[in-house]
Amino acid sequence: MRVTEEEHQTLQKALQHWEKEQIISVATAETLRKSYEVKKTKARFDWKNLSLIAFFFAIACIILATVLFLLDEWLLKLLSSLLGTSDLTKSFLFAFLAVITFVGGVYRRRKYPRQRYSNEALLIFGAIFIAFALTYLSEALGMAEGHFALFVGVATIIYGVLSIYLQSKLLWGISLTALAIWYGLETFYLVNEQSYFLGMNFPMRYTVLGGILLAISPLLLRKEKTHTFYPITYYSGLLGLLFSLWLVSMFGNHGSLSTWSEAPQYQFWYAVILLALASLVTIWWGLRQQERLTTEIGIVFLLLNIYTRYFEYGWDSLHQVVFFSLLALSFWLIGRKAESIWNRLEKD
């Protein structure tokens, strides 16, 4: 019998387990090992992963280009001069283009269901047209200054509704991104563009948003139409919370660089402890729920917390040779421990 390399690995583990548990004898195990041979297969390039990565970077670049475009007044004026119509007309034009794009995306989904990545990528253009439509609508209503957060909030709702209707994880991710932008803008405008909102600077505010997303993510599992959006919401909240806590552990709750530069780092001990506790709880929860990615995120932020503190307190107090030698030793120890764990898991 001829088997693939993956099947061979599975059979090897099964035979080793049966031998260890004395379910079969050593002689029987050897006989079974000789009863099959491994196929020699040519290495195949993973085109699926290449496609996913390519579309991911394409979408990221499109979103970045759109955001930069909307923030550039000169480019907006250039586009306005090229179209040569009123802001309200431009808004309706881009809204119409958005409708056409989403209809085309639905059509492609039905006709080419296997081209998932390209179908999803097409929806990004519909989201961009919505952003342009709302931008020009804010200009037409004279609400671009000081009230733009309202239109970002409307975009968040539109993206969220469309993502549920179209069952698009990409649009749901865009909706969460728009939510984060709206949250920052709204809290900024509510305090008249001051540094603090309810006594919190920007990093501190986003710990609240991350915590809220993390807390409400299980609610998405209650409905069939929102069930598929649980992972992206859960991990967005988790990453947002931990990343914001990491920023707070470095900058504290200071509203300006001048006040931060004068404050000693030990004053931020509360954030360091909070980040460490949050990371440990994340690791514990990931192990308990057998969620590998959750565990890995917790480990990454725990190490990030430790190494950030090392750089903060060791850079000026240690000689560079000692500093980098200790750094190298720590990485080697981590690599060795990870290697031993990986080898043990492979045996199991």
CA distance 171 to 158: 10
Mean of per-residue pLDDT scores for the chain: 77
CB atoms within 10 A of CB 84: 8
Residue ranges of domains in the chain: 1-41
Window from 51-65, 139-153, 213-227, 237-251 with minimum mean pLDDT: 51-65
Q: Which residue has the higher pLDDT, 261 or 200?
A: 200
**pLDDT (tens digit per residue) in 283-337:** 899 888 888 888 888 888 888 888 887 777 665 666 566 656 666 766 666 666 6
DSSP 197: B
Under 8 Å CB-to-CB from 54, ≥6 apart: which residues? none
pTM: 0.69
DSSP-assigned beta bridge partners for residue 37: 2
Per-residue pLDDT at 50 exceeds 60: no
The full DSSP string for 40-87 is -------HHHHHHHHHHHHHHHHHHHHHHHHH-HHHHHHHHHHH-S-H
**pLDDT (tens digit per residue) in 122-153:** 788 888 888 888 888 888 887 766 677 888 88
CA distance 203 to 252: 8
Percent of the chain residues past pLDDT 90, beyond the cut: 7
